[in-house]
C-alpha cells in the first residue's frame, strides 16, 4: 500500500518560494565556481545562483553574504565576513563568529550566546536572515526555556522554513506546548459548559436508564417463557435482548411500544389490520420500493383513506408528502424519504393507541435495533440510506471488476513475455496498486465498508507490491502466482456496509456542525475505529489536510463550498478567532489550539531538499472515557509525493493515567516489523502480553510480519544529575534532527 504525504499542499511551488531572494537577505552559501575576480556561482539550499561580489570574491568556499540587488542573474551581493577593521577572518575561525558578525550587521549589538547559537543553526541550513526575522528570533529565544526553543529553531531550520514569528510560535506550540487534548477540552467547555466527550461519573439519568433497561429485560424474558408466542417472534426478541445495553433512548422507546403491542396481542388475540398495521407496512414499502414516487403514492392511497375522520392529520400527512415530492425534484431523494418516515412516526403517535401497537413493529424496527450503538452520534435508521447503500454497492462492484480485469491482463502479459515481464507489466501493475490505495483512503464506498473488506484490500495492495519486487528481480513465475492469488482474493470480496459506520457517516449532526461535537467524534474515531480509513478521516477532521485539499480543489477549478471548508477543527478554530473578541479566554484557547495544528502541518511539510520525509501529529485519543494526547512521529524515505511504507520508522507517545508515559517504536524493513514498547513500570511486559499477541495477529492479517517485540524503560538508564545532585530523567519524546527524529532506546 502506497501512502501519500498530503499534510502540506506545496510541492514545487513552495520550493520556488523558499529560494527566492530579496534585497537585504543574509544567508550562508557555498562557492562552487569562480568566474573572475568579482563573479562566482553560489550554491544556496541546493540551487545554483550566479552572483557578483561588490568587493571581490572571498577566498574561502563557505561565505556569508548580504543580497544587495536581487532580480535577474547575476544578482549583486556583498560579503559580510570581514570585521570592522577590514581584516579577512581566517577559515579556521569558530563558526559562531560568522553568526555574530551577521547579527551585528543587522543591528543587534552584543548578541547573547543563545541568540548566536540560534542564528548559526539557521545560517548552517541556508535560512535567509533579515532585520525583522532576527528581531523575532531575539524575542523568541529570550522568552522561555533555551534548550526547548533551540530545538524549535532546529526543527524550523531542518524543514527550511522561512524565519517568521508565526512559524516559530506554531512549531514551538506543537512540540513543547500544552497537549492539544487539554487545550481543546478546555475550549469546548468554554463553548458549551454542559458538554462531555463521555460521562466519567454516574448520573441520575444514567441510573434511571439502567433501571428502565433492567425492567424491559425482565418483561422480554417473561414473554420468551410464553409457549403461545410464535417462534419467529421469539427469535426477534432474543436479538433485541442482546442489543438492549447498546440502544439509545429512541430505540428503547420503540422497544417499549413493541413489547406493549405483543402483550396486548397475547391478551386480546389476533385482529384485523388497523391503521398501525398499515403504517408499519408503509414503512416497509418505503424502504424496499426503489421507485420513490410509487412508494409515496401508495402511502397516499392506503394511509389517507383511513383518516376520513381526522382532517387535521390528513392535511399534515399531505403536506409532508408534498414537501417530500419537492425534495425529490431537487435530487434529494434520501431527504425526501426521511420526511415521509417522520410523518409516519408522527401519525402513529397521534392516531394509533399505544395498546394497539402490533408485533410487526418488532420486525420493522429490528434493523435500527441492530445498528444502535452507544455513541453520541445521532442515530438514523438505516432505512433512510437504502438508496445510498445501493449506489455504493454498484460502484464497488465496478471497482472490483476493473481490478480483476487489470489482474487478468497482468497475468497474460507475464505468461507471454516472461523475461521481459518487468518492463511490460510494471506500468499496469503500478496503476492497479494506485487504484487499490486510492479506494482504501479516498473511495467513498470504503467509508461504509466493514473491517474485513478493508483488510482484504490492504492485503491485496501489499501482495501486489511484493509481486512488483519479484518482477524486478526476474522471478516472473513467483510474481505471476501472487497476481493470481490476489485476483482470487478480489473476486471473493463481498461489499457489506458496516452498520456502525453507516450510522456515523450518514449523520450530519454527528460530524461537522460544532467544534465540541467534532472534537468528540475525532477522539472516538482515533481511539475506537482501528481502520486505515478511520484514521485518515480522523486526520482530516483535525484539519491537517485542510490546506492541501483546498489548494487541490481550487487548482482543479472546483469551489470547495462552505460545507467542506468547515468540516474540520482547523477551519472551525479560524472561524472562532474571527468571531470572538480578541483577548478573551475563548480567543486565547482557540489561538493556542490553532497554533498547535499549524505547527504539526509545518513539521510535516514535504522535504524536497532531502530523500527523507518526516511527519508529526498530535491527535486526541479516547482511552477509557478519557481524552488523551497521542503523538505520532513518522520517518521514511521520500519517493516524490509518497513515502516508503515498507521501510519506515514510527514512534507513538501517549501519557496514560494508570501506566504513565508509554512509547511505542515500530521499525519496518521489507514489511518486517520490529516493535519496542517503552514504559517505566516493572510489570509492564506482563500486562501487555495478551494485547501484544492479539495485535500481532491483526498486523499479520494486512500483510506485515512481526519479527520481534522488545520492552525497554521510558527513561534512560544513565541519567544526568542537576546542580543539587538529584537524578534528572531524559525525556521520551524524540528530538528533531536533520535526518528526521532521534530518540534513545
- Per-residue model confidence (pLDDT) at position 209: 65
List Cβ neighbours of 319 (8 Å cut-off, separation of 6 or more): none
List Cβ neighbours of 378 (8 Å cut-off, separation of 6 or more): 507, 508, 509, 510
241 or 6: which carries more pLDDT confidence? 241
Residue 453 has pLDDT above 80, yes or no: yes
Average pLDDT over residues 356-360: 41
Average pLDDT over residues 168-175: 93
- Per-residue model confidence (pLDDT) at position 48: 83
- The distance of Cα 14 from the centroid of its chain, to the nearest Å, equals 23
Residue 382 has pLDDT above 50, yes or no: no
Average pLDDT, the chain: 76
* Mean pLDDT comparison of 106-110, 553-557, 597-601, highest-scoring range: 597-601
Residue 270 has pLDDT above 60, yes or no: no
Contact present, 149 and 172 (Cβ < 8 Å): yes
Residue 379 has pLDDT above 80, yes or no: no
CA distance 632 to 696: 20
CA distance 446 to 441: 8
Cell (9 digits) for 272:
384485523
Average pLDDT over residues 537-562: 78
List Cβ neighbours of 206 (8 Å cut-off, separation of 6 or more): 199
Checking DSSP bridges between strand 720-721 and strand 3-4, what pairing results, if any?
unpaired
CA distance 470 to 392: 35
With CA atoms as reference, report the closest residue to 410 among 422, 396, 394: 422
Contact present, 119 and 102 (Cβ < 8 Å): yes
| Cβ-based neighbour number of residue 100 at 10 Å | 19
CA-based torsion, 560, 634, 637, 484: positive or negative? negative
Contact present, 171 and 615 (Cβ < 8 Å): no
- Per-residue model confidence (pLDDT) at position 20: 66
Q: DSSP letter for 734, please.
A: P
Kindly state the helix (H) or strand (E) to which residue 736 belongs, with its residue range: strand 735-737
**Omega before 74 cis (within 30°)?**
yes
Residue 167 has pLDDT above 90, yes or no: yes
Beta-ladder partners of 654? 630, 662
- Per-residue model confidence (pLDDT) at position 725: 41
- Per-residue model confidence (pLDDT) at position 370: 39
- Per-residue model confidence (pLDDT) at position 70: 82
User: pLDDT tens digits, residue range 423-434?
Assistant: 888 889 989 998
Q: Which of 379-388, 473-482, 509-518 has the lowest mean pLDDT?
A: 379-388
Q: Which of 168-172, 224-228, 384-388, 578-582 has the lowest mean pLDDT?
A: 384-388
Residue 140 pLDDT class (50, 70, 90 cuts): very high
CA distance 380 to 334: 12
- Per-residue model confidence (pLDDT) at position 358: 40
CA-based torsion, 271, 276, 278, 283: positive or negative? negative
Residue 532 has pLDDT above 90, yes or no: no
Beta-ladder partners of 34? 40
* Mean pLDDT comparison of 88-102, 202-216, 362-376, 524-538, highest-scoring range: 524-538
Average pLDDT over residues 689-703: 80
CATH class of the region 385-496? mainly alpha
Q: Which of 148-157, 207-216, 535-544 has the lowest mean pLDDT?
A: 207-216
Cell (9 digits) for 202:
454516574
- Per-residue model confidence (pLDDT) at position 723: 40
- Terminal Cα-to-Cα distance of the chain (whole angstroms): 29
Q: Is domain 12-175 given the CATH code 3.90.1150.10 in the classification? A: no
Q: How many Cα neighbours within 13 Å face the side chain of 362?
A: 22
- Per-residue model confidence (pLDDT) at position 728: 44
Residue 33 has pLDDT above 60, yes or no: yes
- Per-residue model confidence (pLDDT) at position 277: 62
Prediction pTM value: 0.63
Residue 727 has pLDDT above 50, yes or no: no
Average pLDDT over residues 313-335: 78
**What topology does CATH give the domain 641-745?**
Transcription Regulator spoIIAA (3.30.750)
- Per-residue model confidence (pLDDT) at position 64: 83
701 or 729: which carries more pLDDT confidence? 701
CA distance 181 to 179: 5
- Per-residue model confidence (pLDDT) at position 405: 92
Domain ranges of the chain: 12-175, 204-380, 385-496, 641-745
| Cβ-based neighbour number of residue 6 at 10 Å | 19
Contact present, 285 and 382 (Cβ < 8 Å): no
Entry field: residues in the chain: 745
Average pLDDT over residues 526-553: 80
Residue 451 has pLDDT above 70, yes or no: yes
178 or 718: which carries more pLDDT confidence? 178
CA distance 535 to 518: 14
Average pLDDT over residues 208-236: 74
| Cβ-based neighbour number of residue 716 at 10 Å | 14
- Per-residue model confidence (pLDDT) at position 563: 45
CA distance 358 to 519: 41
| Three-state secondary-structure class, residue 273 | coil
Residue 22 backbone phi and psi in degrees, to 5: -125, 155
For residue 257, CA distances in Å to 355, 460, 709 come to: 8, 47, 54
Residue 548 pLDDT class (50, 70, 90 cuts): confident
| Three-state secondary-structure class, residue 333 | helix
Rg for the chain, CA atoms, rounded: 32
Residue 745 has pLDDT above 80, yes or no: no
Contact present, 721 and 643 (Cβ < 8 Å): no
Contact present, 507 and 380 (Cβ < 8 Å): yes
With CA atoms as reference, report the closest residue to 688 among 664, 705, 653: 664
CA-based torsion, 214, 216, 217, 218: positive or negative? positive
- Per-residue model confidence (pLDDT) at position 474: 85
Residue 741 has pLDDT above 50, yes or no: yes
256 or 410: which carries more pLDDT confidence? 410
- The distance of Cα 294 from the centroid of its chain, to the nearest Å, equals 42
User: pLDDT tens digits, residue range 636-660?
Assistant: 887 666 777 778 889 999 888 888 8
Residue 693 has pLDDT above 90, yes or no: no
- Per-residue model confidence (pLDDT) at position 733: 63
CA distance 19 to 241: 67
List Cβ neighbours of 193 (8 Å cut-off, separation of 6 or more): none
Contact present, 150 and 115 (Cβ < 8 Å): no
With CA atoms as reference, report the closest residue to 501 among 337, 365, 392, 373: 373
CA distance 500 to 253: 20
CA distance 122 to 467: 44
| Cβ-based neighbour number of residue 431 at 10 Å | 12
Average pLDDT over residues 469-487: 89
| Cβ-based neighbour number of residue 107 at 10 Å | 9
Cell (9 digits) for 658:
494508570
CA distance 342 to 325: 14
User: pLDDT tens digits, residue range 610-638?
Assistant: 777 888 999 988 887 788 889 999 988 87
Residue 126 has pLDDT above 70, yes or no: yes
User: pLDDT tens digits, residue range 280-302?
Assistant: 777 777 776 767 787 778 777 76
CA-based torsion, 481, 484, 490, 492: positive or negative? negative
Residue 208 pLDDT class (50, 70, 90 cuts): low
CA distance 255 to 675: 48
- Per-residue model confidence (pLDDT) at position 735: 62
Residue 334 has pLDDT above 70, yes or no: yes
Exposed / middle / buried, residue 558 (Cβ in 10 Å: 0-12, 13-18, 19+): exposed
Average pLDDT over residues 402-407: 92
Query: pLDDT above 70 covers what percent of the chain?
Result: 73
Q: Which of 9-23, 116-130, 439-453 has the lowest mean pLDDT?
A: 9-23
Beta-ladder partners of 69? 76
User: pLDDT tens digits, residue range 55-84?
Assistant: 888 887 888 888 888 878 888 888 875 443
| Cβ-based neighbour number of residue 377 at 10 Å | 20
Amino acid at each position: 500500500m502506497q501512502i501519500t504525504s498530503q499534510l502540506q499542499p506545496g510541492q514545487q511551488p513552495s520550493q520556488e518560494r523558499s529560494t527566492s531572494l530579496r534585497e537585504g537577505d543574509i544567508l550562508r552559501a557555498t562557492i562552487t565556481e569562480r568566474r573572475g575576480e568579482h563573479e562566482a556561482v553560489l550554491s544556496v539550499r541546493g540551487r545554483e545562483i550566479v552572483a557578483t561580489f561588490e568587493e571581490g570574491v572571498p577566498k574561502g568556499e563557505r561565505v556569508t553574504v548580504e543580497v544587495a540587488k536581487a532580480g535577474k542573474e547575476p544578482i549583486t551581493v556583498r560579503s559580510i565576513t570581514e570585521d570592522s577593521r577590514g581584516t579577512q577572518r581566517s577559515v579556521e575561525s569558530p563558526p559562531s563568529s560568522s553568526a555574530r558578525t551577521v547579527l551585528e550587521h543587522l543591528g543587534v549589538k552584543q548578541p547573547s550566546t543563545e541568540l548566536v547559537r540560534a542564528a548559526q543553526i539557521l545560517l548552517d541550513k541556508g535560512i535567509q536572515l533579515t532585520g525583522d526575522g532576527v528581531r523575532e528570533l531575539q524575542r523568541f529565544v529570550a522568552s522561555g526555556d533555551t534548550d526547548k526553543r533551540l530545538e524549535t529553531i532546529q526543527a524550523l531550520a531542518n524543514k527550511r522554513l522561512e524565519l517568521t514569528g508565526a512559524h516559530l510560535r506554531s512549531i514551538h506550540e506543537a512540540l513543547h506546548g500544552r497537549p492539544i487534548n487539554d487545550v481543546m477540552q478546555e475550549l469546548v467547555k468554554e463553548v458549551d459548559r454542559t458538554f462531555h466527550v463521555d460521562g466519567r461519573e454516574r448520573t441520575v439519568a444514567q441510573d434511571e436508564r439502567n433501571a428502565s433497561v433492567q425492567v424491559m429485560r425482565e418483561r422480554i424474558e417473561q414473554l420468551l417463557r410464553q409457549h403461545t408466542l410464535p417462534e419467529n417472534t421469539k427469535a426477534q426478541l432474543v436479538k433485541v435482548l442482546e442489543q438492549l445495553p447498546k440502544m439509545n433512548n429512541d430505540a428503547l422507546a420503540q422497544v417499549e411500544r413493541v413489547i406493549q403491542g405483543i402483550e396486548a396481542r397475547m391478551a386480546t388475540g389476533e385482529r384485523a389490520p388497523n391503521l398501525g398495521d398499515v403504517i408499519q407496512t408503509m414503512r416497509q414499502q418505503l424502504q424496499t420500493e426503489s421507485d420513490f414516487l410509487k412508494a409515496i403514492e401508495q402511502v397516499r392511497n392506503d394511509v389517507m383513506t383511513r383518516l376520513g375522520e381526522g382532517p387535521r392529520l390528513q392535511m399534515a400527512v399531505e403536506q409532508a408528502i408534498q414537501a417530500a415530492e419537492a425534495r425529490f425534484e431537487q435530487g434529494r431523494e434520501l431527504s425526501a424519504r426521511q420526511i415521509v418516515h417522520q410523518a409516519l412516526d408522527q401519525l402513529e403517535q397521534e392516531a394509533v393507541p399505544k395498546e394497539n401497537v402490533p408485533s410487526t413493529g418488532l420486525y420493522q424496527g429490528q434493523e435500527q435495533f441492530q445498528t444502535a450503538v452507544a455513541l453520541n452520534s445521532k442515530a438514523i435508521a438505516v432505512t433512510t440510506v437504502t438508496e445510498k447503500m445501493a449506489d455504493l454497492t454498484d460502484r464497488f462492484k465496478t471497482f472490483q471488476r476493473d481490478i480483476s480485469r487489470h489482474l487478468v491482463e497482468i497475468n497474460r502479459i507475464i505468461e507471454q513475455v516472461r523475461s521481459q515481464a518487468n518492463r511490460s507489466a510494471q506500468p499496469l501493475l503500478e496503476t492497479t496498486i494506485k487504484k487499490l490505495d486510492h479506494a482504501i483512503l479516498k473511495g467513498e464506498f470504503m467509508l461504509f465498508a466493514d473491517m474485513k473488506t478493508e483488510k482484504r484490500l490492504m492485503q491485496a495492495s501489499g501482495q501486489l507490491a511484493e509481486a512488483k519486487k519479484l518482477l524486478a528481480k526476474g522471478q516472473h513465475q513467483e510474481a505471476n502466482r501472487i497476481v493470481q492469488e490476489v485476483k482470487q482474493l478480489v473476486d471473493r470480496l463481498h461489499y457489506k456496509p458496516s452498520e456502525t459506520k453507516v450510522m456515523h457517516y450518514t449523520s450530519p449532526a454527528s460530524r461537522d456542525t460544532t467544534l465540541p461535537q467534532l472534537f468528540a467524534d475525532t477522539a472516538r474515531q482515533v481511539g475506537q475505529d482501528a481502520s486505515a480509513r478511520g484514521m485518515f478521516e480522523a486526520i482530516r477532521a483535525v484539519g491537517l489536510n485542510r490546506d492541501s485539499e483546498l489548494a487541490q480543489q481550487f487548482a482543479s477549478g472546483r469551489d470547495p463550498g462552505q460545507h467542506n471548508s468547515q468540516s474540520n477543527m482547523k477551519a472551525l478554530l479560524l472561524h472562532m478567532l474571527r468571531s470572538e473578541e480578541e483577548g478573551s479566554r475563548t480567543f486565547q484557547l482557540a489561538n493556542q489550539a490553532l497554533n498547535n495544528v499549524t505547527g504539526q502541518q509545518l513539521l510535516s511539510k514535504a522535504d524536497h531538499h532531502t530523500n527523507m520525509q518526516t511527519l508529526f501529529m498530535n491527535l486526541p485519543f479516547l482511552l477509557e472515557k478519557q481524552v488523551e494526547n497521542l503523538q505520532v512521529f513518522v520517518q521514511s524515505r521520500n519517493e516524490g509525493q509518497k513515502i516508503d511504507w515498507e521501510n519506515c520508522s514510527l514512534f507513538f507517545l501517549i501519557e496514560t493515567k494508570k501506566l504513565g508515559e508509554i512509547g511505542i517504536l515500530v521499525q519496518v524493513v521489507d514489511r518486517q516489523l520490529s516493535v519496542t514498547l517503552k514504559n517505566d513500570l516493572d510489570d509492564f511486559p506482563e500486562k501487555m502480553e495478551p494485547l501484544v499477541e492479539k495485535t500481532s495477529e491483526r498486523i499479520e492479517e494486512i500483510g506485515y510480519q512481526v519479527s520481534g517485540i522488545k520492552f525497554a524503560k521510558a527513561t534512560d538508564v544513565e541519567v544526568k544529575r542537576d546542580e543539587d545532585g538529584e537524578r534528572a530523567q531524559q525525556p521520551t519524546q524524540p528530538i528533531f534532527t536533520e535526518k528526521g527524529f532521534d530518540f534513545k532506546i
